[in-house]
Every structure is written in C-alpha cells, then in structure tokens.
A and B are shown apart, each in its own frame.
Chain A
Amino acid sequence: MSAETLELASPPQPGSLLLRVFPLYPLSARRAGYLVQRNFLVAKRTWVLFVSGFFEPFFYLLSIGVGIGGLVGDVVTDTGTSLTYQQFVAPALLASSAMNGAIYDAVHNLYFKLRYSKLYDAVLATPLSAPDAAVGETTWALLRGASYSAAFLVIMAILGLVESWWAVLALPAAILIGFAFAAAGLAATTFLRSWQDFEFVQLAVLPMFLFSTTFYPLSTYPEPLQWVVRCTPLYHGIELIRNLVTGEVGWSLLGNAVYLLVMGLIGLAIGARRLSGLLLK
C-alpha cells in the first residue's frame, strides 16, 4: 500500500503535516455517520444481545462486590482512604467493562466484517473512504460503550457506591478508555490472521483485567511489580474513574487521561493506515 493509492482513494484534503498523520477528524464526520447509522440498524435487529451487554458488569459487581466483599471486608486504597470492597471494586469494573466492550467491538466485530462479511468492500463502493470507515466504527463503538457505562453509573449511584459529584466526569472518562482501547483494538485487528489469533488479544486483555488494581490496591504488590502495573493502560483508566467516583481529584488525573488519549491517537493513526492498506490493495 503506497501513499499514492491513499491519495487517490480519499479526496485531497487541505492538509498540514498533522492532517497527514491523523487524516481523520472532523472532515469526514458526515460520511462516517452513515456507517454509524448502518450499525444502529443492525443493532436494532439483534437488540437482545445489545441489551445483554448491560448485565455483564452488573453480574460482576454483584458477584465480586457482594460475594467476595463479604470475605474481604474494607480496603485501604493507595491514597489512604478506607472503602468498602464494593466501593473499591465498582469503579474498576466500570473501567474494565469500558475496555472489554471496546475491544470486543473493535476486534471481534471488525474482524468478522473485514474478513467474512466483506462489509467494507461494499462500503468502499460508496463515497466513503477507508478512514471514514475507521472513524465510523470507532464512533459506533464509543456510543455503544457510553450507553453501557451510563447505565452502570446509574446502578452504582442507586446502590450508594458513588461518593462525589465528580463522578459525573466518570462517564467521559469511560468514553476515553473506550476510545483508547477501540483504537488500539482496531490497529491490532489489522494484524490478525485467523480466529485462533484472538487468543493473543485475550492474552493482553485478561491479565490487565485481573492485575491492574481491579480487585486490590497497588500496595498489595511488591515494588517492582507495582511499576509494571503502572505502565498498563487499564491501570490509568481505573485510577481515573476510581478517583473521580470517590472524589479524590488531583492534577495527577490529567496524566492518566493524557496517557489514554495518546494511546488512542496512536492506535487510530496506525489502524486507519493499515485498514486502508488492507482494503485498497
């Protein structure tokens, strides 16, 4: 895939270098919108599966928060606050379900459309370009993830697990997590060769879910391991949401947010380019 093909495929845009690196926003917003609309129509037909996505984090909250919570008792966070186990786990489950949902959409659904249903071959026969498709898919994944996150936040509030009004910002934070992982997932999907390779995606996601301070504070680990955990993106997502929900807001949260933003932008740049390459060769 050469730069020339890309130029031919998408209409020439008034471009600075920055636009060449991130050749996406917001010039194609309307065209990408058609793909979002298409996904919405499909979701209406399989609404049971769509709705069932709301239940999974809730099941985890009940099982781990209530069941294991009874065994654990209270937890002291890394900032020194004492929380009930449910209060501790719930924000982390919100963050991990934003990650899982985004990965599922970006990897499983996208792979199927790319390799089997040939959806994008059809899409490219219309005025939409490959980057439009990438933006459209990511937007759809974010909308879907945002609806799940909003519902989960409401449940948390009803169960009395929300400590502060800062929690309102947990929704955009969850969308940011979704963006970072959807974009990284998009990039990863373009490298997958077969269904068996999904195991490798799982191999990245599951350890993060299990070890990135979801179930216990960082201080439970020995010092060197703490640094490994601090490097993972989910850790930053969980920090962001947990501190917003408990109201312990400081400037360090901006660092967490920037980490996720940069990860998303890099993923999107790689993903959109590779996708163009795969579709236009």
Chain B
Amino acid sequence: MTVPVLTPGALAFAGQRLTAYRHFWRSSLISSVLEPALFLASMGLTLGILVDRGPGLPGGVSYLSFLAPGLLAAAAMQTGSFESTYPVLGAIKWDKTYDAVLATPTRVPDLLVGQLLYVAFRVTTSAALFLAVLVLFGAADSWLVVLAVPAALLTGMAFAAPITAYAATLDNDSGFAAVQRFLIIPMFLFSGTFFPVSQLPAVFEWIAYVTPLWHGVSLARGLALGTIDLGAGLLHVGYLALWIAGGVLLARWAYRRRLLT
C-alpha cells in the first residue's frame, strides 16, 4: 500500500488547478474574505456592543476578540469544504479534467495530492488575508495570532480530505447540499464560533467536542488570545491531523475506485 506523496506529477497538477483559479480568484475573494469580514463587522463589532454591555463572556474577553479567531477557523472550514465539492466532482465527471491529466504520465495518487495541495493554497491565502482584516479591526490580542493561519490550514484540510473522498463517490451534486445543510452549517453555528459551547445543553456540548471545527476554533482562539497551553494545543493539532490522515486514506481509495475502472 502506497501512501500518496509529493511527486512532480502532483505539483504539475496543482499548477493546473492554480491556472484555472486565475480565472475566478476575484469572485472567490468575496466568499473567502469579504463574507467573514462582514460577519465580523456585524456580529463582532456591533452585536459586540450589546454583548460587552450585557452579561458578556467569561474572563472578560471582548466579543470581537472572541469571535474573530473563531470566524477565521470557520471560514477555513468553508473554503476547504467548498473547494473539495464541485471542483472535485466536476473534474471527475463534468469537465473530465482528471481523464485528460491521466492521459499524461501523471498518476491517480498525483491527482489527489495535487488537488489537496491546491486546496491548501486556497485555505492558507484566504486565512492570511482574513488575518489582515482581523488585525485591521483591532481584534488581535497576542502575537501568537499569526499562528492562527497554520491552525486554519489544519482545520480546512480536516474537512477537505474526507469531503474529497465523499465527492469522488458521488454521481450528482445533490449530496453537497446535504453536507452543507446537515454538517457545515450546524458546525458553523454550534461549534463554538459564536459562543462558548458551555452555553449548550450537555448532550450538544459533547457533540461539539467531537467536531473537528471545535478543535480548529479552540486552537485558533487560544493562539489569538494568547491563552493556549501546550497540552491542549497538541491535543487539537493531533485530533485535526487524525481527520486529515483518515480523509486522505479514504480519498485515495475512492479515487482509485472511480478513476481506475
């Protein structure tokens, strides 16, 4: 059993994806950067006035500083997920990019690694831009906030890898709407982005702890507020890495089954 690795073929395929991205990078800025920035302005700044005036957050953290790193991680989840849905199924089924590339010396594992590399690029650049917005809003409390970008990368890939595997098994796009409505949106709303999960009833609190987004949000928030300790940090990183590794293995299986028969 071969583990997918970085090969010249994988790099070449990532390059192909980037070339395609040049055609729509402007509109992608709207969903990856402007949308979280609008949430930050509406909820962080304005709703923040009400929160900070009301009972507020434990530890006296301002709502803006609390929300911003959470949104950074949640935006990474959304970019990582989206780039692993339509683009993957499209390359398999509609524009048949994968078939075209397989007619060259590039092999199936190269396609997977190249695809994930491209998603990693998208998540990292979006997170870096959003970090700039966050600093402009004055929401950064600690220099460690810079490390929220790699935290976002881990979060984004923890979604990208398993969703890539899922996309490679689908026949049409209706499954993506279900993923969006039953996984992505509930996690966006309940995994600690907008409020501490301790506000939830106990059962839902425990469900939240299992979601990769909660670990991504906690990691990014701990770094941005400068409150993280090493043990908790390693736990979050390890848990996210587990999702990535599992997702890559599943995706490898799904790609072979779909593209080699």
Given A59-B185, A63-B194, A215-B47: A72 touches B54 (CB 8 Å cut-off):
yes
A55 to B181, Cβ gap below 8 A? yes
Band of interface residues on A: 35 or more
Which residues of B come within 8 Å of A, CB atoms?
24, 27-28, 30-31, 34-35, 38-39, 41-43, 46-47, 49-51, 54-57, 63, 174, 177-178, 181-182, 185-186, 189-190, 194-195, 199-200
CB interface residues, A 27-75, toward B, < 8 Å: 46, 48-49, 52-53, 55-56, 59-60, 62-64, 66-68, 70-75
B27: chain A residues at CB < 8 Å are 196-197, 199-200
- Docked complex Cα distance between A197 and B31 (Å): 12
Interface-forming stretch among A17-25, A201-209, A245-253, A272-280?
Answer: A201-209
B182 to A52, Cβ gap below 8 A? yes
| Residue interface mask A78-107, B partner, CB < 8 A = 1 | 000000000000000000000000000000
Given A67-B195, A71-B51, A199-B31: A60 touches B189 (CB 8 Å cut-off):
yes
B194: chain A residues at CB < 8 Å are 63-64, 67-68
Which residues of A come within 8 Å of B, CB atoms?
46, 48-49, 52-53, 55-56, 59-60, 62-64, 66-68, 70-75, 196-197, 199-200, 202-203, 206-207, 210-211, 215-216, 220-221
Having A72-B51, A199-B27, one finds 13 other A-B pairs with CB under 8 Å, namely: A55-B182, A56-B181, A59-B185, A59-B186, A66-B199, A67-B194, A67-B199, A71-B195, A72-B50, A73-B55, A202-B30, A206-B38, A220-B46
B42, B50, B55, B177: the one within 8 Å of A49 (CB): B177
- Docked complex Cα distance between A60 and B188 (Å): 10
- Docked complex Cα distance between A53 and B177 (Å): 10
A203: chain B residues at CB < 8 Å are 30, 34
B166 shortest CB reach to chain A, Å: 16
A71 to B57, Cβ gap below 8 A? yes
B199: chain A residues at CB < 8 Å are 66-67, 70-71
A68: chain B residues at CB < 8 Å are 43, 47, 51, 194-195
- Docked complex Cα distance between A53 and B178 (Å): 10
B46: chain A residues at CB < 8 Å are 211, 215-216, 220-221
B28, B43, B55: the one within 8 Å of A70 (CB): B55
- Docked complex Cα distance between A71 and B24 (Å): 39
B80 shortest CB reach to chain A, Å: 18
B182: chain A residues at CB < 8 Å are 52, 55
B223 shortest CB reach to chain A, Å: 22
B54 to A71, Cβ gap below 8 A? yes
